[in-house]
Amino acid sequence: MCDTCGCQTTKPSHQDSKLLEINKSLLAANDSVARKNRKHFGEMGARAINLISSPGAGKTTLLEKTAELLSGEFTFAVIEGDIETERDAQRIRAKGIPAVQITTGGACHLDATLVHKGIHLLEKELGKGSPRLIFIENVGNLVCPAAFDLGEHKRVVMVSVPEGSDKPAKYPRAFMGSDLFVITKMDLLPYFDFSIDEAIRCARAINPGISVLTLSAKTGEGMEGWMDFLKSESMNQDEDEDEDVA
Amino acid sequence: MHELSLVQGLFSQVKELAFQHQARKVIRIVVKIGPFSGVVMDSFTFAFEVLKEDEELLRHAHLEIIRPGARLCCNLCEREVDAEKEDLDFKGDMLPGQLFSKEKRCPHCGKGSLYPSGGDEILLMQIEME
Ligand SMILES: Nc1nc2c(ncn2[C@@H]2O[C@H](COP(=O)(O)OP(=O)(O)O)[C@@H](O)[C@H]2O)c(=O)[nH]1
Ligand SMILES: [Mg+2]
Ligand SMILES: [Zn+2]
């Protein structure tokens, strides 16, 4: 009989079993590549910004508008993540901004390994020069990307007015780890029952420290706050590189 | 979420450890999944049961999930609150979004509102092997 549990097995199964104490994240492999990415961005002299939203919230449009408004305050490049196609990278390049596309081939989020590939593609594209800011446009999805550190320095979560102001309450995980919450398509506010108050209150209930910006990439309303955020980020080099060490 | 890829990550860690320790089979795997991790328990368990059939080493592994209670923090006095102990009607697998219907104040200072503190962990805790 087995001593450990009193079961009737004849072979002493539990006696020669070995118990290992581990206490390690299931995402440990991703997180360690993410730390390397963060270092890599730092060595390029760049700060990386991870953009997370549902499909169509206006990530690419905001980057296009950023390119249009730019007048030498900083430089930037974009790593575009999508399930399929080169379209977003082409939209960014059309604005004269270096961009590379990484496709996940079906996966609903970017992970650190894919971004690592993106960094190498981008370095080829850039040649010698290096931008101050590198945006990573994540796959459109407000759930899965939240769990994956890509090696970014700042994480931005975006919700557009037509999506509704209950999104922070419904997708809390995306707001927990973000530094900035951007409410987009403000030009559409008169046509939708979107409560800015509710959206901000819920986002801050999850993450009291989160900053908030409201803007429209179409009319340009609120864009100066966004450009100021980017400008101060671009001057924020080489600091807290290993902030998220597990 | 992506429970399938989480379980794949789990199995590759377990296989590596089993190999290092020259185990013939893994009989128990203990993971800890925080209340705000976003992991759907049923999908995680389902992925575990399906994927383990592909691995001789893991076929007999039993999954044990530890679910720590939700910990909240006050935005004013910054003290921690154990949601379950304080009877905040807050169960382990509630989403923080569900806090908003409650509007509970901090039991310490009576003024602050409560927000989740940690709880997004997804950890491999123990492996028992032969
Ligand atoms: N009215 C309005 N439409 C916008 C705005 N920003 C983006 N859009 C539209 O929203 C759609 C999706 O935008 P896109 O940038 O591709 O979203 P992404 O999937 O987040 O990259 C496009 O048709 C855009 O023209 C905005 O500020 N106002
Ligand atoms: Mg896009
Ligand atoms: Zn308090």
pLDDT tens by residue, B95-109:
555 555 456 678 899
Give contacts of B31 with chain A, Cβ < 8 Å: 26
Q: How many CB atoms lie within 10 A of CB A205?
A: 22
B36–A172 C-beta distance less than 8 A: yes
The greatest distance separating any two alpha carbons of chain B, rounded to the nearest whole angstrom, comes to: 57
Average pLDDT over chain B reads 85
| Interface predicted TM-score (ipTM) over 0.85 | no
- On whether residue B87 sits in a domain, the answer given is no
For residue B95, the one-letter residue type is L
Question: Containing domain of residue B53, as a range?
Answer: 3-7+22-68+119-129
Is A181 in a helix, a strand, or coil?
A: strand
pLDDT tens profile A81-113: 999 889 999 999 999 999 999 998 888 899 999
Give the pLDDT score at B90. Answer: 54
Confidence of residue A244 (pLDDT cuts 50, 70, 90): very low
| Spatial CA neighbour of A162 closest among A135, A205, A210, A199 | A199
| Partner residues linked to A69 by β-bridges | none
Question: Whole-angstrom Cα distance, residue A73 to residue B71?
Answer: 43
Question: What domains can be seen in chain A, in order of their start residue?
Answer: 46-234 (3.40.50.300)
Sign of CA dihedral A168, A25, A31, B43: negative
- On whether residue B58 sits in a domain, the answer given is yes
Contacts of A43 (CB under 8 A, 6+ apart): none
- On whether residue B114 sits in a domain, the answer given is no
Percentage of chain A exceeding pLDDT 70: 90
Give the pLDDT score at A1. Answer: 39
Average pLDDT over chain A reads 90
- On whether residue B59 sits in a domain, the answer given is yes
- On whether residue B88 sits in a domain, the answer given is no
State the total domains in chain B: 1
Give contacts of A25 with chain B, Cβ < 8 Å: 121-124
From A154-168, B30-44, B72-86, B94-108, the region with the lowest mean pLDDT: B94-108
Question: Whole-angstrom Cα distance, residue B9 to residue A25?
Answer: 10
Is A207 in the B-facing interface, judged by CB distances under 8 Å?
yes
pLDDT tens profile A105-152: 888 899 999 999 999 999 999 988 889 999 999 999 998 899 999 999
Kindly compute the dihedral angle of the four CA atoms of residues A37, A38, A43, A44, in this order, to the nearest 10 degrees. 80
- The CATH number of whichever domain residue B48 belongs to comes to 3.30.2320.50
**Strands of B122-129's sheet in order across:** A18-25, B122-129, B26-33, B62-66
- On whether residue B101 sits in a domain, the answer given is no
- On whether residue B100 sits in a domain, the answer given is no
Residue A213 pLDDT greater than 50, yes or no:
yes
Residue A153 pLDDT greater than 80, yes or no:
yes
Residue-by-residue DSSP string for B14-27: HHHHHHHTT-S-EE
Give the pLDDT score at A195. Answer: 97
Give this prediction's pTM: 0.88
Is A82 in a helix, a strand, or coil?
A: strand
- On whether residue B108 sits in a domain, the answer given is no
Q: Whose CA is nearest to atom 23 of ligand 1?
A: A56
Give the pLDDT score at A4. Answer: 47
